[in-house]
Amino acid sequence: GQLFKVAVLPGDGIGPEVMAEALKVLDAVEKRYDVKFERTHANVGGAGIDLEGRALPETTVNICKAADAILFGSVGGPKWETLPPDEQPERGALLPLRKIFGLYANLRPAIIFPSLTSASSLKEEVIAGGFDILVIRELTGGIYFSQPKGIDGAGRDRVGVDTMRYSVPEIERIAHVAFQAAQKRGKKVCSIDKANVLSTSVLWREIVINIAKEYPDVELSHMYVDNAAMQLVRWPKQFDVILCENMFGDILSDEAAMLTGSLGMLPSASLAEGTFGMYEPSGGSAPDIAGQGIANPIAQILSAGMMLRYSFGMVEAADAIDNAVAKVLDQGYRTRDIYQEKAGEKLVNTKEIGDAIIANL
Amino acid sequence: GQLFKVAVLPGDGIGPEVMAEALKVLDAVEKRYDVKFERTHANVGGAGIDLEGRALPETTVNICKAADAILFGSVGGPKWETLPPDEQPERGALLPLRKIFGLYANLRPAIIFPSLTSASSLKEEVIAGGFDILVIRELTGGIYFSQPKGIDGAGRDRVGVDTMRYSVPEIERIAHVAFQAAQKRGKKVCSIDKANVLSTSVLWREIVINIAKEYPDVELSHMYVDNAAMQLVRWPKQFDVILCENMFGDILSDEAAMLTGSLGMLPSASLAEGTFGMYEPSGGSAPDIAGQGIANPIAQILSAGMMLRYSFGMVEAADAIDNAVAKVLDQGYRTRDIYQEKAGEKLVNTKEIGDAIIANL
Ligand SMILES: CC(C)[C@H](C(=O)O)[C@@H](O)C(=O)O
Ligand SMILES: CC(C)[C@H](C(=O)O)[C@@H](O)C(=O)O
């Protein structure tokens, strides 16, 4: 059988509780398929700060380097909010992880399950039947990482500067990811830019058009980022794959995620070239409900599923996890965040819904 | 009586038709108040390109320079979409106008009228009773105008670069606009940034906190732009004044506008230091319905109202226009874009709703 090494980084807040359920699912996968997941736990985020003095301790980086993939929980909480931005759990862990491991392709599905449409703040008629958007965000370039960046001068003469920079190869590789993803789903890519204002966007659009020629079966369209922010609200079903540079992807993927109404359901993948990747829920660490055993572990479980699919090539097992989650929702199981007091719904806790998913595997 | 000079730039698409109604409203104001509006028409956008060879002709700039304010229609359409970005109607007219006239403060109300909540794609329970957000966007700095900006190199070695830069005085003056606006309304400012990633945002947040000390009656909060894109969808009523740098304001003001469901109702003001300003509808030129006399002129009429309020100090007349619009909506008058086939609604054309507003002045 195969052996995969997983760096397990539960993090803060609800991270450890929902991670426990995802690990139970990995156990179940080991029983059903000829595979072993060797897991090494490491501290990250606030837990890293408290136990090892920084959001991304050296030991954690080394454990990740020795692994085939990172399964990440969530980080952050009020306890660490007064630290300087660079040292805070989210920024201090996520940005270095992306850079060190070259995680250039962020895949964020925004799926609304037909049985959960009423959780969205959008009208029933706008989202009837659900929608299924995949935001593909460039994650290691643009205004997040380019130089110069900083504050120069003193007092009222200070000037803040950030730089957005994109090279042709950076745009090409993320465009390939988007077109290849689209080939496996709705065969449409909507590329987001602000080509009427930004030079990076002019280059972005030109290169995306070039790469599109290698994917004649995929339909390419372009949309300005301001219009995309509107169109997501107006009619989300018009989108299949949305391709964005780093900053636009940060904003639009969160907007799209919120439109589903169930942040606790959305996984994400951040992929490097090759098969290495980091997998994490799209929602936050929810410190307000941490430790109560009531958090929704579905996003974490689906993130583990994405790990099997993208880093380990276990498409069948990944599909099985996705299907088990869908079945459990159809059976009416609901954690508190998605419970709507409707007939047929069963209010359950973190462990119970995890068990139900495993029972359906 | 007073005399104000208005540069009238109807532009393209529905621009001329809706402008005609706004000018009728100015006529009506002249009759009721001791004031004259001397109007000089000029070409802009596609009309500028077709008649004078460029989106912002020199004559138009001079007419604007001689005026106390600019009343702007809308620009753009399929005819000019294949021109290079710099020459296109929107970019080629709007960005130079902002720069030449120092229009640093963009005010974009996103108001949902209680009688029009059903036009929004948000659920009734999310927007019951309407909402009233004022987005204040910095309009002459940031990544729109800072250098270096361009594409360097050749072939696959090309690199695109844009620069986001903010100085302390640039942040201070727009912050003052936001706090002063908040004092006249809900007394809350939510400042948007990405201080966990951008240096400009770190400076932005520090300066906004400083300026806030001069407005102890206004409550200041901060929100990351990605979270703001979510919160607008989740619960728009939490916001009063939203303060943004240029690019974030572009995205969030459009998102907020779309949440109202009635883009044809939303005016905007772009203010310089002193009293000069440019006033324009938030919606586009709607080439698909141009020339049919069915466009909604309310955004253009409310833009004229903002001109009276902000450039001419005619608060009473501006209030009268706002009230007349509200009354006409209460009376059930609806252009096609806001018509919902409900009892009590009267479907009317551009001229008819303009006349009804004047009758209510
Ligand atoms: C925490 C922050 C640096 C991060 C980002 O902006 O990328 C987060 O918002 C995300 O989307 O993962
Ligand atoms: C046309 C474009 C340059 C402009 C902008 O991005 O500012 C427009 O989107 C706006 O918001 O007025």
The count of other CB atoms within 10 Å of the CB of residue B118 is: 12
CA-based nearest distance A138→chain B, Å: 15
Is B194 among the residues known to form the active site?
yes
Q: Which residues pair with A132 in a beta bridge?
A: A111
Neighbours of B121 (CB within 10 A): 22
Partner-chain contact B194 A247, CB within 8 Å: yes
Q: State whether residue B223 is helix, strand or coil.
A: strand
- pLDDT tens for chain B, 361 residues: list them: 899 999 999 999 999 999 999 999 999 999 999 999 999 999 999 999 999 999 999 999 999 999 999 999 999 999 999 999 889 999 999 999 999 999 999 999 999 988 888 889 999 999 998 899 999 999 999 999 999 999 999 999 999 999 999 999 999 999 999 999 999 999 999 999 999 999 999 999 999 999 999 999 999 999 999 999 999 999 999 999 999 999 999 999 999 999 999 888 999 999 999 999 999 999 999 999 999 999 999 999 999 999 999 999 999 999 999 999 999 999 999 999 999 889 999 999 999 999 999 999 9
From the candidates B83, B88, B159, which should be mutated to test the interface with A, based on the most A CB atoms within 10 A? B159
Tens digit of each residue's pLDDT (9 = 90 or more) over A20-53? 999 999 999 999 999 999 999 999 999 999 999 9
Average pLDDT score, chain A: 96
Give residue A197 CA to ligand 2 midpoint distance, Å: 8
Q: Please tell me the distance from the alpha carbon of residue B53 to that of residue B177, in angstroms, as a whole number.
A: 36
**Whether pLDDT at A159 is above 90:** yes
DSSP H or E stretch at residue B268: strand B267-271
Name residues contacting ligand 2 (CB within 6 A): A 196-197, 226; B 90-91, 94-95, 250
- Identify the pLDDT of residue A85: 85
The shortest C-alpha distance from A255 to chain B (Å) reads 5
Secondary structure E strands in chain A: 2-11, 35-41, 69-74, 105-112, 131-138, 146-152, 159-167, 188-193, 219-224, 241-244, 267-271, 277-281, 333-334, 346-347
Beta strands at B146-152 and B159-167: parallel, antiparallel or unpaired: antiparallel
pLDDT at B181: 97
Q: From CA A116, how far away is CA A261, in angstroms rounded?
A: 8
Radius of gyration of chain A (CA): 20
Does the pLDDT of residue A239 top 90, yes or no?
A: yes
Which of A90, A164, A233 has the CB atom closest to B259's CB atom? Answer: A233
- Give the C-alpha distances (Å, rounded to integers) separating A150 from A153, B23, B200, B207, B226: 10, 48, 7, 15, 21
Burial class (CB in 10 A: 0-12, 13-18, 19+), A58: exposed
B254: annotated active-site residue: yes
Residues 6+ apart with CB under 8 A from A148: A161, A163
Q: How many CB atoms lie within 10 A of CB A84?
A: 9
Q: What is the pLDDT of residue A65?
A: 98
Count Cβ atoms below 10 Å from residue A338 Cβ, excluding itself.
Answer: 22
State residue A118's pLDDT score. Answer: 85
Q: What is the DSSP string of B53-115?
A: SSSS-HHHHHHHHTSSEEEEEE---GGGTTS-GGGSHHHHHHHHHHHHTT--EEEEEEE--GG
Which chain A residues are within 8 Å of B121, Cβ to Cβ?
122-123, 126, 233-235
Q: How far apart are CA B152 and CA A81, in angstroms?
A: 40
Of the partner residues B151, B203, B234, the one whose CB lies closest to the CB of residue A121: B234
Tell me: pLDDT of A262 over 90: no
Q: Looking at residue B83, what is its pLDDT?
A: 93
Beta pairing partners, B9: B72
Phi and psi at residue A159, to the nearest 5°: -135, 130
User: How far is the centre of ligand 1, averaged over its atoms, from the C-alpha of A91 (Å)?
Assistant: 7
